[in-house]
Amino acid sequence: MKQNRREFISTMAVAGAAIPFTSTLGTYLSESAEIKFPVRMFSKPLDSYDFGFMCECIAKSGIGGIDLTVRPGGKVEPAAVETALPKLVEEAKKYNLAIDMMVSGIISATDPDTERVLKTASALGVKYYRLGWFEYDNKIGIWESLQKSRATLKEIVELNRKYKIHGGYQNHAGARVGGPVWDLHELLRDLPLEFAGSQYDVRHAMVEGTNTWILGMRLIAGHIRTLAIKDFTWKTVNGKPQAVTVPLGEGMVDWDLFFKTVKELNISGPITLHVEYTLLEKGEEKLPLIQQQEIIVSKLKKDMDFLNTYLKNLPLTGT
């Protein structure tokens, strides 16, 4: 059972084991690199915890901010965004953490929650958000589904323009729009990059195109404004192959080629670090919260240190 925040603080005081809060722990990037490739943590793996605990884990790991889930079932429910999000943004500042990215479920400009979420987030300094995913409709066909999604996205772009916020569409493994990265070339063509682009996820791109992912990346390079970073390996589960997320550097993503290509194509923008493997092994979730935090921080920091080995070698000039 998880401790509440008061119990956690009490435990830390008794143990005398608090780690100083800092957004630079384990980080050796220059200020210029942080500006060109700011790293935020996708909050989903820590959403079940108290928000203060989440901030402590992220700050101690050397990650500069949070890519916060503002979607049904997320840390912030869309219906409560006007009251809940401002409080979390202010609390995050106490830990020197930015909330300038969020993950939404937005797939319609006419949904009553869409404009409220975008208006509130933009006013609080959120500059980038991830859209939800469009589905294919077999009744009208693949191409027609893609055109229908494109028309819907154009309507969302007008709201993005109104509130000066960028919406990124993530390529995600699976049989929906954006599973094949080539979809994004058609989905995003001619749309203003300031307000709509790709949140390029190399893990999902490799799952769907082990040998061809680099072609898709090159095709949509001009649309890439944010990067989702995570690793994976293939495992056999119940006799079927399954892509399983693992810590950075322990899987099949060709990080050398990926970052070489990022550099070659002059891609830059915020990075959302996805730590979607098991953070606590069986039994560890019953440990006191301070011990859980030590385990979580060690894993987050390991991923962040791995990422920094590449970011420090990327050019620090350009857009």
pLDDT class of 3 with cuts at 50, 70, 90: very low
User: What number is the average pLDDT over the span 19-24?
Assistant: 39
Domain locations along the chain: 5-311
Q: Residue 270's pLDDT is what?
A: 97
User: What is the rounded CA–CA span in Å between residue 151 and residue 147?
Assistant: 6
What's CA 146's distance to the chain center, in Å?
A: 24
pLDDT tens-digit readout, 55-74 = 999 999 999 999 999 999 99
Amino acid 33: pLDDT? 52
- Does position 5 have pLDDT exceeding 80, yes or no? no
pLDDT tier at 27, thresholds 50, 70, 90: very low
Residue 12 in this model has a pLDDT that exceeds 90: no
Cα–Cα distance, 256 to 63 (Å, whole number): 22
| Cβ partners under 8 Å of residue 316, min gap 6 | 30, 32, 33, 36
3-state secondary structure of 175: coil
Angstrom distance (rounded) from CA 60 to CA 294: 10
* Local confidence band at 34 (pLDDT 50, 70, 90 cut-offs): low
- Give the angle 60-30-129 at the CA atoms, nearest 5°: 65
Q: What is the pLDDT of residues 277-308, one digit of tens each?
A: 999 999 999 999 999 999 999 999 999 999 99
Q: Which two tokens stand for residue 143?
A: 């191409």
In this prediction, residue 112 carries a pLDDT of: 92
Q: How far apart are CA 196 and CA 26, in angstroms?
A: 33
For residue 64, give the 3-state DSSP assignment.
coil
| Distance between CA atoms of residues 190 and 185, nearest Å | 10
Angle between helices 51-60 and 5-15 (to 10 degrees): 40
The predicted pLDDT at position 30 comes to 44
Q: Is 313 exposed, middle or buried (0-12, 13-18, 19+ CB in 10 A)?
A: exposed
Which pLDDT value is given to residue 315? 60
If you count them, how many residues does the chain have?
319
* The pLDDT value given to residue 316: 45
The one-letter amino acid code at 229 reads I
E strand segments, 126-215: 128-130, 166-170, 196-201
Q: Which fold has domain 5-311?
A: TIM Barrel (3.20.20)
Looking at every residue in the chain, the average pLDDT score rounds to 89
pLDDT of residue 36: 83
